[in-house]
Structure 1
Amino acid sequence: MHIVSKVLIGLVAIIHSYILVFEMFLWESRGPKVFTSFAPDLFAPTKVLAANQGLYNGFLAAGLFWALFFIKDVSWKRNVACFFLACVAVAGLYGAMTASMNIIFVQTVPAVLALLSVTLLKPRQP
């Protein structure tokens, strides 16, 4: 896999690791500062729902880390990375349509760039 692809996949995995922490542990403290269009009184009652979303984001990050560090077969690594990046891109589109348009820049754009790099860039031959 090309180094650019690895860096972009790592970036998307780190973003989703942060989203896990944000939604599972910081929802009531940081949430109102990030999602300013939501009524502040919505954060406490939606804490469990946000934690559930955070867990799913953690699964996306785990899949990307798995592809990046633990899969040795090049084709398998590429396929797993493409699957999880596509999942992130779709989740970002849905989030942009339903929660905040900024999500498209935080999730979808990095995932699509990583997906393009995985599919278009050829690794250097040793």
Structure 2
Amino acid sequence: MVSRRQVVDIPPIKPEYTEHRIYKKTISCGHCNLSDLPVQVKTSISYGSNIQATIAYLHPRQYLPFESMSAFFADFCNLPISQGTICNLLQNFAEKAKPAFAIIATKMKQQTVVGADETEIKVDGKKGWFWA
């Protein structure tokens, strides 16, 4: 072989919709059978785990504001998601994380020394310190 070259790319992101339907059937004895929706499908439109995980990553890790995340999903993923929905999903994550935070807080309170770090931050144009 004399040479080798590669081109790497990602496929276009295209939303994948899964529709769930409820059917109702009354049988000859008069009994009515009604199907159920999957337990995670709670509203007329729900956002799947990959979308939720992306939101959970973009806001706290990449510091994207709601408006930018909404634009990202509309422009890059061809999927309109409102800022309100993004906020609600993040609030759901915060609720799910509360038990883990409580365990961490309990363990930290039991320690004689807790590691910390400080980072410079600008607040209203003034230098301040953020403790982590």
TM-score by length of 1: 0.25
Structure in which a larger fraction of residues adopt strand: 2
TM-score by length of 2: 0.24
Higher relative contact order (CA 8 A, sep 6+): 1
